[in-house]
Amino acid sequence: MPMKGRFPVRRTLQYLSQGDVVFKSSVKVMTVNYNTAGELSEGARKFVFFNIPQIQYRNPWVQIMLFRNMTPSPFLRFYLDNGEQVLVDVEEKTNKEITEHVKKILGKSKEMLEKEERERKKLSHPATFGPKKYHLRECMCEIEGQVPCPAFVPLPKEMRGKYKAAMKNEA
Amino acid sequence: PGLFPGLCPGWSPRAVPARGRKSRHDPPAKSKAGRVKLPPPVDPEELLVVLERYRQHRLVLSALRAEFRAEVLQRKREERLAAEGSVEELEEHRRLMAWNEEENARQQARREERLRKQEEEQKRRKLEIAEKQARKMEAFLEEKEKEVLQLQEEAKNFITPENLEARIEECLDNPRNYNFAIDKDGRIVKRTVLS
């Protein structure tokens, strides 16, 4: 099965999860106006090609729209939920600079992300076991330090009901 | 059951008759031919009382549940708002927006600089071209002037019908010798005598 597209690495989960721009919850729409030709839009083109998949992966609820060849100079526009619009001029900027800029003005800071991570962790207890959907392990036998599953390692005689019943009958 | 209250303690009442041996398609037995199945007797006052009590109980319970649900939601909403709309956050947001505006202004300055330079460049180029054109025109005119003057000079030596006779006489009087000798080194010798 051949790989699809010019840079198929953009489709890998590892690449996508490497995106570090997580927008604040007030950002609803992101609009990119850029040109398909011209030296000035080069950074914007690279940004659209390489970084927007990462951003959309980390922010699945933000609507991203691309407009090509509508204005002479490239820019980004963010629409927040209180009606505010944020304009970012990206002429003559590399795509890395653009991501840094966007992360600085509208991205969640690292501390905030870590805090959210910790909150999410608090909801589930890692020591419990049960259905795979809610817990890490399904059976007690999977936990380290516990009796292994009798399907793989037979239990010692003394723990088996058969032996215990036989002993009781004997006595 | 209702006919013998308390006389069959070991018998557990069944809501649905269990189908032991016969399936639903088998006909009932002949001994059950005249059987009339009556619903269990109900005491109307007791029924009313019990229903009323159940109604109130359920009403209270659902009200309590709704109350608690609303409280939890309210608390969550407040927490969310407090996390978002706090003063520091707004301050931070305004600061970042201001920084963004500055960045845009800087980019605007750069853009204007670039456009200005481009315009200057264009003007300079246009001027150069115009100058070149002017110079070309001048040179051309000079050439033409020179030619005209040269022609005027030569016109003095032209042979006209008036001085035709005089010129012929002149030529005949002064014979010119066009003969010459040249050797392999390229030296010209004009000693040949005209005969």
Q: Is residue A1 part of a domain?
A: no
Amino acid at A20: D
Q: Does the complex come out with an ipTM higher than 0.85? A: no
Would you say residue A20 lies in a domain?
Answer: yes
Contacts B96 to A, Cβ<8 Å = 104-106
Write down the pLDDT at residue A123.
87
Residues A104 and A135 in one domain: no
Q: Whole-number mean pLDDT of chain B?
A: 89
User: Higher model confidence: residue A99 or residue B20?
Assistant: A99
Give per-residue pLDDT as tens, A40-68: 999 999 999 999 999 999 999 999 999 99
CA distance B66 to chain A (A): 24
φ and ψ at residue A164, rounded to 5 degrees: -65, -40
Disruptive mutation site among B89, B94, B107, B112 for chain A (greatest number of A CBs within 10 Å): B107
Specify whether A54 is located in the same domain as A96: yes
What is the Cα–Cα distance from B194 to B19, expressed in whole angstroms? 162
B106, closest residue in chain A (CA to CA): A89
Whether the pLDDT of residue B9 is over 70: the answer is no
Q: Which residue among B84, B100, B110 places its CB closest to the CB of A105?
A: B100
Between CA A41 and CA A93 the distance in angstroms is 8
Hey, is the C-beta of B90 within 8 angstroms of any chain A C-beta?
no
Output DSSP code: residue A91: T
Distance from CA of A109 to the nearest CA of B (A): 12
Contact A104 B107 (CB under 8 A): no
Q: Are the beta carbons of B103 and A89 separated by less than 8 Å? A: yes
User: Please, which residues have CB within 8 angstroms of residue A155's CB and are 6 or more apart in sequence?
Assistant: A147
Checking if the pLDDT of B194 tops 80, the result is: no
A64 and A26 both lie in a single domain = yes
Q: How far, in Å, CA of A42 to CA of A75, rounded?
A: 12
On whether residue A71 sits in a domain, the answer given is: yes
Q: What is the domain partition of chain B in residue ranges?
A: 46-173
Contact at CB, B99 and A92, closer than 8 angstroms: no
Per-residue confidence band for B156, with pLDDT thresholds at 50, 70 and 90: confident
Mean pLDDT of A32-43: 93
Distance of residue B96 Cα from the nearest chain A Cα, in angstroms: 5
Whether A30 and A63 share a structural domain:
yes
Q: Is the pLDDT of residue B7 over 70?
A: no
Of A41, A51, A26, A49, the C-alpha closest to A101 is A51
> Do A145 and A103 fall within a single domain?
no
DSSP state of A50: I
Helices A95-106 and B87-156: crossing angle, nearest 10°?
150
A115 domain-assigned: no
**Which residues are CB-neighbours of A140 under 8 A, at least 6 positions away?**
A129, A146, A147
Chain B residues within 8 A of A105 when measuring between CB atoms: 96-97, 99-100
The C-alpha of B119 sits at a distance from chain A's nearest C-alpha, in angstroms, of 17
pLDDT recorded at residue B176 = 87
CB contact under 8 A, A105 and B104: no
Confidence class for position B157, pLDDT limits 50, 70, 90: confident
User: Does the global pTM surpass 0.80?
Assistant: no
Considering only CB atoms, B107 lies closest to which of A26, A89, A104, namely A89
Residue A150: which domain range?
124-170
B27-85: pLDDT as tens digits: 989 999 999 999 999 999 999 999 999 999 999 999 999 999 999 999 999 988 887 76
A90 within a domain of the structure (yes/no): yes
pLDDT at B10 over 70: no
In a domain, residue A92? The reply is yes
Overall number of domains in chain A:
2
* CA closest to A78 among chain B residues: B97
Q: What percent of chain B has pLDDT over 90?
A: 66
A18-22, A144-148, B2-6, B138-142: least confidently modelled range: B2-6
Last residue of a domain, one of A109, A134, A162: A109
Q: Looking at the structure, do residues A34 and A71 belong to the same domain, yes or no?
A: yes
Select the residue of B84, B96, B110 nearest A105 (Cβ to Cβ).
Answer: B96
Shortest CB distance from B103 goes to which of A92, A101, A106? Answer: A101
Q: What does the pLDDT read at residue B1?
A: 45
pLDDT at B4 over 60: no
Report the residue count for chain B.
195
Whether B108 sits inside 8 A of A104 (CB atoms) is no
Q: Hey, what long-range contacts does B49-54 have (CB within 8 A, 24 or more apart)? A: none
Q: Give me the pLDDT at residue B20, please.
A: 84
- Sorted by sequence, the CB contacts under 8 Å of residue A35 that are 6+ apart come out as A41, A44, A45, A68, A69, A71, A72, A74
Query: What is the rounded average pLDDT for all residues in chain A?
Result: 93
> Measured in whole angstroms, how far is the alpha carbon of residue B92 from the centre of its chain?
28
Angstrom CA distances, B140 to A51, B126, B131, B132, stand at 62, 21, 14, 12
